[in-house]
Amino acid sequence: SDPVVSALVRKGRDFSLEDQAALGRKQTELLGLVIPAYKKLAASRQIEISTTPYYHPILPLLCDSAIAATAHPNVPLPHRFQYPDDARRQLQMGRDYIQQAFGVAPVGLWPSEGSVSDEVFHIAAETGFRWAATDNGVLDRTLGRGSGVDGTYRPYRWQQGGHAMQVIFRDHVMSDLIGFVYSGMDAREAAHDFLRRIRDNCSGILGAGRDALVPIILDGENAWEYYDRNGRPFFRELYQGILNDREMHAVTVSEAFDLMPSDPLDHIFPGSWINANFDIWIGAEEDNRAWDFLLDARRAYDQRQDGVTEEQRKLAYEELLIAEGSDWCWWYGPEHDSAHREDFDQLFRSHIANVYRALGQQPPADLSQPILRI
């Protein structure tokens, strides 16, 4: 236990400005230990560091927004957005940032929201990534049938047009148990339930004489705050249970590909981890208006970039990349709600307007009006 934090806990109330400052200094100190800890664990190969495209865009939609109709044939679409070079830039920036911060160039990719397509895999392979992960709902659509645990619990190798990418497909059910269920259970009971389910799922595969790879993938920052002590008791029970089981081993994704043969894939169905489609981010009236604003700004950039200074060009492009992030359209449309939706709307339109300002142009008047239909 930390003496500064312990003293504040004992005090319990009537905190002074100095108490607040002391806690702020302690938080900064602890945050400074995070990246060195990751570096150490990565160097010992206890963990593997992967990454995501820098501003969290839905890569397949950047490459070609019309691809949304593959998963949802009758979806209303905005004017076609088709800028694969932006997807490449987002991937390269994500990879470069991790290399700068952690001293290692990641070979693994979790595309934003598990969103994949053949074109995304082509670009990712050219950018230096060797493996990617998505959801087993995408595997079902790729295979044209339910994959079940037998299909999910194995690695794959996508190959097309001279490019190759290793792929794993997360067990949606098992991952969501950790993400949404086990935080409300006793740590030991939750860990035992999880390991029991894995043994049950793998029994037929092991009985057939082959190994099983169980991909557990989740947005960790969403889960641990709901667990007792940020999940530490659960983790201790879970990893102790794995250590006690002779047939079970925790491995990094790259280790899994080294240990097991991969099944071939000649294509990947375009979709995300949410229903194996892109409906969250495109198709609703609000979503499509946002895409049209983005397209207009992107075209303005193409037309003006050679007539402005390098500083203006960089700033305009940075604002475009920010506006391509997926979280803006997460809040547009009927799927999600938040008390801050109006703030997100205003911020998105501000970034689009900043593209024009950086190019020395007046933003379109429509950008001063909300996209939201409240």
What is the DSSP secondary-structure string of 210-226? ----------HHHHGGG
Question: Is the distance from CB of 339 to CB of 345 less than 8 angstroms?
Answer: no
Torsion (CA) 31, 110, 239, 231 in degrees, nearest 10: 50
Confidence band for 247, pLDDT divided at 50, 70 and 90: very high
Instruction: Report yes or no on 343 lying in a domain.
Output: yes
Output the pTM of the full model: 0.95
Instruction: Supply the mean pLDDT for the chain.
Output: 97
Looking up tokens 């994500």 gives 94
Model confidence at 219: pLDDT above 80: no
Answer yes or no: do 298 and 361 share one domain.
yes
Q: Which among 225, 259, 293 is the end of a domain?
A: 259
Question: Is the distance from CB of 172 to CB of 230 less than 8 angstroms?
Answer: no
Looking up tokens 């990719």 gives 109
Query: Could you give the CA distance from residue 162 to residue 292 in angstroms, rounded to a whole number?
Result: 34
Question: Is the distance from CB of 327 to CB of 56 less than 8 angstroms?
Answer: yes
Query: Which of 116-120, 204-208, 335-339 has the lowest average pLDDT?
Result: 335-339
Could you report the per-residue pLDDT of 281-331, keeping only the tens digit for each?
999 999 999 999 999 999 999 999 999 999 999 999 999 999 999 999 999
Q: Which among 243, 259, 275 is the end of a domain?
A: 259
Summarize the confidence of residues 108-133 as an average pLDDT: 98
Tell me, what CATH number does 335's domain have?
A: 1.20.1430
Answer yes or no: do 247 and 297 share one domain.
no
Q: Which among 259, 277, 298 is the end of a domain?
A: 259
Backbone angles phi, psi at 159, to 5 degrees: -145, 130
Instruction: Report yes or no on 296 lying in a domain.
Output: yes
Q: What are 109's strand-pairing partners?
A: 51, 132
Confidence band for 1, pLDDT divided at 50, 70 and 90: confident
Nearest to 195 by CA among 241, 133, 156, 159: 241
Query: Could you give the CA distance from residue 93 to residue 108 in angstroms, rounded to a whole number?
Result: 14
Determine how many CB atoms are found less than 10 A away from the CB of residue 98. Answer: 19
Answer yes or no: do 177 and 254 share one domain.
yes
Model confidence at 220: pLDDT above 90: no
Q: HSE (CB half, 13 Å, CA atoms) of 328?
A: 29
Answer yes or no: do 237 and 180 share one domain.
yes
Residue 311 confidence (pLDDT): 98
Residue 163 confidence (pLDDT): 98
Answer yes or no: do 251 and 324 share one domain.
no
Summarize the confidence of residues 198-207 as an average pLDDT: 98
Answer yes or no: do 290 and 251 share one domain.
no
Model confidence at 183: pLDDT above 70: yes
Instruction: Report yes or no on 221 lying in a domain.
Output: yes
Residue 222 confidence (pLDDT): 81
Residue 343 confidence (pLDDT): 98
| Sheet with 263-265, edge to edge strand ranges | 108-109, 131-135, 163-170, 156-160, 263-265
263-265 and 156-160: which strand pairing?
parallel
What is the span of the domain harbouring residue 304? 285-368
The total number of structural domains in the chain stands at: 2
| Lookup: tokens for 159 | 């190959």
Percent of the chain with pLDDT over 90: 98
Summarize the confidence of residues 109-120 as an average pLDDT: 98
Percent of the chain with pLDDT over 70: 99
Query: Could you give the CA distance from residue 60 to residue 278 in angstroms, rounded to a whole number?
Result: 9
| Lookup: tokens for 64 | 């070609």
Model confidence at 374: pLDDT above 80: no
Nearest to 349 by CA among 330, 364, 333, 334: 364
Looking up tokens 């060797």 gives 130
Instruction: Report yes or no on 117 lying in a domain.
Output: no
Answer yes or no: do 300 and 349 share one domain.
yes
Instruction: Report yes or no on 124 lying in a domain.
Output: no
Instruction: Report yes or no on 265 lying in a domain.
Output: no
Summarize the confidence of residues 265-277 as an average pLDDT: 98
Answer yes or no: do 233 and 292 share one domain.
no
**What letter would DSSP give residue 365?**
G
Confidence band for 248, pLDDT divided at 50, 70 and 90: very high
Determine how many CB atoms are found less than 10 A away from the CB of residue 38. Answer: 17
**What letter would DSSP give residue 276?**
T
Query: Could you give the CA distance from residue 67 to residue 290 in angstroms, rounded to a whole number?
Result: 17
**What letter would DSSP give residue 362?**
P
Query: Could you give the CA distance from residue 8 to residue 291 in angstroms, rounded to a whole number?
Result: 49
